[in-house]
Amino acid sequence: MRVGLTALLAAATFSPAIAQTPAPETAPPVAEAPAAAAPAPAVPAPPSALSAAIQQDMDGLMALYRELHASPELSGQETATSAKLARRLKALKFDVTDRVGGTGVVAVMKNGSGPILMIRADMDGLPVTEQTGLDFASKVRVRTADGVDTGVMHACGHDTHMTAFIETAKLLATRKDAWKGTLVMILQPAEEIGQGARGMLEDGLYTRFPRPTHVLAFHNSASLEAGRIAYAPGYAMANVDSVDIAVRGRGGHGAYPQTTKDPIVLGARIVTSLQTLVSREQDPLDPAVVTVGSFQGGTKHNIIPDEARLMLTVRSTSDESRARLLKAIERVARGEAIAAGIADDRMPIVKVQDQFTPSVYNPPAFAGRMAGLLNAAFPGRVAETKPSMGGEDFSRYYRADKSINSFLFWVGGVAPERLAQAKADAAALPSLHSPFWAPQADKVVATAAEAMTVMALDILKRD
């Protein structure tokens, strides 16, 4: 996930936040108390019946989870994963199309007239060497396009997403008498690099296949108790931009700095000034983050280089804030260069990478309706949460057609005893993208599959 719940749900109450190393993309903090439940629509199938069905399938589901966990594939390379899951969807009598947007899969089941519901799961792993100690831990190693030898791991829990997705497909395929309309199940590649949703849309997801009226997805959480659910109405996750700044100067001997224009010093000034974009220029009620994640320059102690490079991640909620921040970064870089006496032809070069991930938006009225369903199905286990500054390209499905009702929610994956230990010892829990992240997969899968099915049966309910 280009996304963390920084606060924890413990036992039957919500506990204060526990510090942890932020994941590149994690879920948002949970509110101190469960939100008041919206009026719950009638649930077409009793949750207890769904729970029983899921528990009957659990041995097979955990076998699938372990298989997926042990054999992750990097973004855009999910060929074996997509083929494996496409076979399962075909066996459930879906009309399956593969290689959509690269390695994506689209499975369609038509069941009369009615709404068109799309349910999405992401498939890609991360270039992380697993250190969980699980007996089914990934031993996959690859050499990346950049020439880096690395392990590959489902460190963001996409293996739980796919497993719950398959169970949801089965529950709905075997209950066609309980719903009407069209079900579109999609397996998306390349979420971790923010390219998969765009690739599928550009390959005709909304033109070659039924255009959805509703879209659902979930993400596991590395700081929420296993089996608990969190959601955010409105903006749920942030815009994510990656920005590179080439800071150019004039190199020379470190003993004679007066003959140079030091890009290291200029870069340091830029880094410091960038901090004021949020602290002094951004409305405190409009969240934003500007983080310099990399500062590279020079090769030797006594050589002032010609150039230094900064790498930034920029997070915002609204598109207006995004545009303002990106413009301000260019202004700060140029302004500091002018103050340092840099010539016009050596001004910093600011480049916004083409890996933009838009902010996730849960239309509030639809989020309230889904929250009502979840509260009815999982009493005492659901909480409203604040928006996260992490990112998720699930956002693109709503951005492509804002008439769609879209809903992304989180399902906790941390064992209760781990939460209790972390609270008692003030210890950090493994975050998403950590080599130590190992969710309580059975709780994640069971909760997510039931939640997805409850919502789907309501969206597609018969009159």
Angle between the 158-173 and 47-70 helix axes, to the nearest 10 degrees? 140
* Residue-level pLDDT at 73: 98
Q: C-alpha 447: how far from its chain's center?
A: 18
- Say if residue 99 is in the same domain as residue 245: no
Residue 1 resides in a domain: no
> Does 32 fall in a domain?
yes
Asked if residue 166 and residue 23 are part of one domain, the reply reads: yes
Question: pLDDT by residue for the chain (463 residues), tens digit each?
Answer: 654 333 333 333 333 232 333 333 544 544 433 444 445 554 444 557 999 999 999 999 999 999 999 999 999 999 999 999 999 999 999 999 999 999 999 999 999 999 999 999 999 999 999 999 999 999 999 998 888 999 999 999 999 999 999 999 999 999 999 999 999 999 999 999 999 999 999 999 999 999 999 999 999 999 999 999 999 999 999 999 999 999 999 999 999 999 999 999 999 999 999 999 999 999 999 999 999 999 999 999 999 999 999 999 999 999 999 999 999 999 999 999 999 999 999 999 999 998 899 999 999 999 999 999 999 999 999 999 999 999 999 999 999 999 999 999 999 999 999 988 888 876 789 999 999 999 999 999 999 999 999 999 999 998 7
Q: Which residue in 14, 438, 3, 437 sits closest to 219, CA to CA?
A: 3
Give the 3-state secondary structure of residue 50: helix
- Predicted pLDDT at 426: 63
Q: How many residues does the chain have?
A: 463
Count CB atoms within 10 A of the CB of residue 231: 22
Q: Is 51 exposed, middle or buried (0-12, 13-18, 19+ CB in 10 A)?
A: middle
| Predicted local distance difference test score (pLDDT) of residue 355 | 84
Residue carrying structure tokens 């009620």: 285
98/233 same-domain check: yes
Which of 304, 321, 352 lies at the terminal end of a domain, its last residue? Answer: 352
Collapsing DSSP to helix, strand or coil, 259 comes out as helix
Tell me the C-alpha distance between 25 and 332, whole Å. Answer: 27
What's residue 283's pLDDT?
94
User: What's this model's pTM, rounded to 2 decimal places?
Assistant: 0.86
- Where among 330, 352, 374 does a domain terminate? 352
Q: What domain range is 116 assigned to?
A: 7-237+359-459
User: Kindly report the CA angle at 26 between 20 and 31, in degrees rounded to 5?
Assistant: 75
User: Does residue 204 lie in a domain region?
Assistant: yes
The confidence score (pLDDT) of residue 42 equals 46
Q: Is residue 89 part of a domain?
A: yes
Q: What Rg, from alpha-carbon coordinates, does the chain have?
A: 24
Q: How far is CA 169 from CA 128, 164, 268, 457, in A?
A: 30, 9, 52, 12
If asked whether residues 297 and 442 sit together in one domain, one would say no
One domain for residues 146 and 204: yes
Instruction: Give residue 462's pLDDT.
Output: 87
Q: What is the DSSP letter of 230?
A: E
Going by their DSSP bridges, the two strands 252-253 and 234-235 should be labelled as unpaired
**Does a structural domain hold residue 214?**
yes
Co-location of 223 and 296 in the same domain: no
Report how many domains make up the chain: 2
| Tokens standing for residue 342 | 């840099």
Same domain, 83 and 126: yes
Q: Give the CATH number of the domain where residue 98 resides.
A: 3.40.630.10
The packing angle between helices 79-91 and 158-173, to 10°, is 20
CATH number at 271 reads: 3.30.70.360
Q: Cα–Cα distance between 270 and 94 in angstroms, integer?
A: 54
Gap between the Cα atoms of 450 and 131, Å rounded = 30
Residues 193 and 72 grouped into a single domain: yes
Domain assignment present for 2? no
For residue 412, is it within any domain? yes
Gap between the Cα atoms of 23 and 1, Å rounded: 9
Note whether 39 and 113 are same-domain residues: yes
Kindly state whether residues 181 and 84 are assigned to the same domain: yes
pLDDT confidence of residue 25: 55
Q: Decide if 413 contacts 229 (C-beta within 8 A).
A: no
Residues 330 and 410 occupy one common structural domain: no
**Domain check: are 179 and 68 in the same one?**
yes
Which of helix, strand or coil describes residue 13? strand
Of 320, 352, 384, the last residue of a domain is 352
Helical H segments across 101-251, by residue range: 158-173, 196-202
